[in-house]
Chains A and B, each alone.
Chain A
Amino acid sequence: MRPILMKGHERPLTFLRYNRDGDLLFSCAKDHTPTVWYADNGERLGTYRGHNGAVWTCDVSRDSARLITGSADQTAKLWDVSTGRELFSFRFDAPARSVEFGIGDTLAVVTTDNFMDHVPTVQVKRIADDIEDQTEESALVITGIKGRINRAVWGPLNRTIITAGEDATIRIWDTETGKLMKESDKESGHQKTISSLSKSSDWSHFITGSLDKSAKLWDTRTLTLIKTYVTERPVNAVDISPTHDTVVLGGGQDAMNVTMTDRRAGKFEAKFYHKILQEEIGGVKGHFGPINALAFNPDGRSFSSGGEDGYVRLHHFDHDYFNIKM
């Protein structure tokens, strides 16, 4: 395959997200402007100007009308996807690290970092249909997690919120009461910071990537460990193929060491593993920095990766990918 290289960002990529139809790709980077691209040819559609800090994360509503972004400028912003107009800005006391729309797009979960004196929080915001009615109030605030929360996502039917972060523990919270329901097992779980979390297309299971050089597949309801994928480098990004039994892991050595070693030593490939057999299928090279973000297209025919090098690489799979036999 000949990947499409998108050089719209001037700083390392932080997050990639496809919309539900798979025709738009949203990219976030440490420069201040999230960008949207056409996912088939990589043409830039627009940018969302207004943040004043690194943008850590984004999510797009199911109808691709609204975009929510979380930034280090201590805000999360709602945007009109088609025009790039800023609709609303949620202000926080700390950088917003993770955002996600719940089912129905009427709720959004936002996490804030531990910053200055503030403890990390998970906050649920109501998203009004009419932007005039939008308020900044939080419907629910969850505290009590030590260490930064890198990712918070909704569980099935918006009944739970799953969090993962620096303390290497995955927690499931009840959204009605805000109480902790389940916690991942310390023994079998990750040993170091969990850097990424991605749900399967049906939300029945999810994968977490950690700096302990492994990725783990968990059941969403019971939080039981299903599979473990061991790699050679810290994992920064993970995703699950929506159509095939593959998962993709991205990572690489710490950015600070990159210039001191050979490119090959960095292991900056996106590694494909068989989801069930846990065996490595292969790697896709290309980035010359660690991979920070990975996303499969919802049609499963392409995936994109964003690296510390500031490039988004959009890969349309070759025919033989679909015929891989293990």
Chain B
Amino acid sequence: MQPIHNTAPVRASSRITIHENHAHIKAKPRNHIPRRTRPAIKKKTYATRPPNHVSHLQPPKSPNARGRRTNRTTNRDRLDGKEACRNRTMAAAAAMQLQQQHHRTERWGDLLDDGELGLEALLPPKVVVGPDAQGLKKVIEYRIDDDGNKVKVTTTTRVRTVRRSKRAIERRAWAKFGDAATEVAGSRLTMVSTEEIILDRTSRDSSSSGSKNDEASNDSLTKTNKDGGGFLMVCRTCGKKGDHWTSKCPYKDLASQQSLTSLDMPPSSDDSASQGGGADNKSAAYVPKFRRLGPDNTSGAEVMRRRNDENSIRVTNLSEDTRDPDLAELFGQFGPLSRVFVALDRATGVSRGFGFVNFVHREDGERAIRKLDKYGYDNLILHVEWAAPRPNN
């Protein structure tokens, strides 16, 4: 096994290039290469130029160095020609990066020739930091954007060294064969999924293990209850101890009605459960879930309506300061209440001047209406009447 580092072979080659350059500094004049051949050279160069070696290729400061520049280009061309075969894949990847660099470095000679001012020559050189221990490589470049501003571009890339067997590397270079050799470039046989696929762990695993845990904990709780004597598990609906949780009460559908009609009654224990059982058997017909009444189903519209309409009294012309406790105090004198409600503005929290009171017993309500209608309360005359049932009820 041998590690492959993308940039390694290229770096070596460019070093050679530079070395050779010194021998030719004076030997070749600036315009040794005829101008008409230059574009071709340019093209070749930036297709094969190593990506991270631009720091060596800064525009020279003296005219003398100019010859060196051109020269260097030719030398690299020759060397990289060989190199190009080996690093075909790499070259493609680097091409984009190179294009930008070419913009700055390669054009320098042309710039002077064309009489343009090489503003870019004044820019600081490109700096390459790393790759560090984490494989992070930082490249700091400077360029001048379209508006003439100097821009610093910092590119951070992660360099990953992939270990592959020698054989695998050889196989990489194999020529395509069969249908693959004649494949059209745009055939797109291989595509990366646009969809992010995750190893879906939620499906059965979590739910099954979750419920298992629940059961286990339930069991342990019930057991401790039974053993310890003190009952943790008490059903709030039917009052049974240690048999089931409130949510699993078999009588919850009925118990809710009871609790609504007789709110002040203490929760009866086993006998109410048996009553409930009897009633349960009576209503054998199927009731859709949303029509069922139960502590679990408080959101059901039916339940809300029922609760609101039971012996409900509407109080209007309340002063703004009146709150639920005040109303409870006022109406509580007449009998037990099941609900007190003052309508508040949802945004401001200020009373909207009316409220509802539900009595447990209807006769108490009647008495309250007789006494409190037209009653002066907080310097306002109350208007008390039976709340009208909802039109759709």
**Do A and B truly interact?**
yes
Closest Cβ of chain A to B271, distance in Å, is 47
Task: Decide: A1 and B189 in contact? CB cutoff 8 A.
Answer: no
Task: Decide: A272 and B199 in contact? CB cutoff 8 A.
Answer: yes
Task: Decide: B200 and A8 in contact? CB cutoff 8 A.
Answer: no
Q: B179 is contacted by which of A47, A269, A284 (Cβ under 8 Å)?
A: A47
Task: Decide: A269 and B200 in contact? CB cutoff 8 A.
Answer: yes
Check B190 for interface membership: any CB of A closer than 8 A: yes
Task: Decide: A315 and B167 in contact? CB cutoff 8 A.
Answer: no
Task: Decide: B200 and A24 in contact? CB cutoff 8 A.
Answer: no
Task: Decide: B197 and A44 in contact? CB cutoff 8 A.
Answer: no
Chain B residues, Cβ within 8 Å of A7:
189-191
Task: Decide: A4 and B191 in contact? CB cutoff 8 A.
Answer: yes
Answer whether A285 and B180 are a contact pair too, CB < 8 Å, given A24-B171, A44-B190.
no
Secondary structure dominating the interface of A = loop
Task: Decide: A8 and B178 in contact? CB cutoff 8 A.
Answer: no
Secondary structure dominating the interface of B = mixed
Task: Decide: B190 and A282 in contact? CB cutoff 8 A.
Answer: no
Check A53 for interface membership: any CB of B closer than 8 A: no
Most A CB atoms within 10 A — which of B181, B197, B202? Answer: B197
Chain B residues, Cβ within 8 Å of A282:
199-203, 205
Interface residues on A, range: 35 or more
Taken residue by residue from 256 to 273, chain A's Cβ proximity to chain B (1 for < 8 Å, 0 otherwise) reads as: 000000000000010010
Chain A residues, Cβ within 8 Å of B189:
6-8, 44
Task: Decide: A283 and B200 in contact? CB cutoff 8 A.
Answer: yes
Chain B residues, Cβ within 8 Å of A280:
203-205
Check A252 for interface membership: any CB of B closer than 8 A: no
Check B284 for interface membership: any CB of A closer than 8 A: no
Closest Cβ of chain B to A274, distance in Å, is 10
Chain B residues, Cβ within 8 Å of A84:
177-178
CA distance A320 to B201 in the complex (A): 11
Check B198 for interface membership: any CB of A closer than 8 A: yes
Task: Decide: B204 and A5 in contact? CB cutoff 8 A.
Answer: no
Chain B residues, Cβ within 8 Å of A145:
none
B179's nearest neighbour on chain A, judged by CB, is: A47
Task: Decide: B197 and A315 in contact? CB cutoff 8 A.
Answer: yes
Check A2 for interface membership: any CB of B closer than 8 A: yes
A4's nearest neighbour on chain B, judged by CB, is: B192
Check B174 for interface membership: any CB of A closer than 8 A: yes
Task: Decide: B197 and A21 in contact? CB cutoff 8 A.
Answer: no
Q: In the complex, which residues 170-190 of chain B have their Cβ closer than 8 Å to any Cβ of chain A?
A: 171-172, 174, 176-181, 183, 189-190
CA distance A279 to B206 in the complex (A): 11
Check B165 for interface membership: any CB of A closer than 8 A: yes
Q: B197 is contacted by which of A2, A8, A48, A272 (Cβ under 8 Å)?
A: A2
Closest Cβ of chain B to A286, distance in Å, is 6
Check A136 for interface membership: any CB of B closer than 8 A: no
Chain B residues, Cβ within 8 Å of A1:
196-199
Q: B190 is contacted by which of A6, A48, A82, A272 (Cβ under 8 Å)?
A: A6
Task: Decide: A48 and B178 in contact? CB cutoff 8 A.
Answer: yes
A315's nearest neighbour on chain B, judged by CB, is: B197
CA distance A84 to B201 in the complex (A): 41
Task: Decide: A64 and B167 in contact? CB cutoff 8 A.
Answer: yes
Q: In the complex, which residues 1-55 of chain A have their Cβ closer than 8 Å to any Cβ of chain B?
A: 1-8, 21, 23-24, 33, 35, 37-38, 41-49
CA distance A3 to B174 in the complex (A): 25
Chain A residues, Cβ within 8 Å of B174:
45-46, 82
CA distance A324 to B165 in the complex (A): 29
Chain B residues, Cβ within 8 Å of A6:
189-190
* CB-CB nearest 6 A-B residue pairs: A47-B178, A46-B177, A282-B201, A84-B177, A23-B168, A42-B190
Interface set of B (CB-CB < 8 Å, partner A):
164-165, 167-168, 171-172, 174, 176-181, 183, 189-205, 209
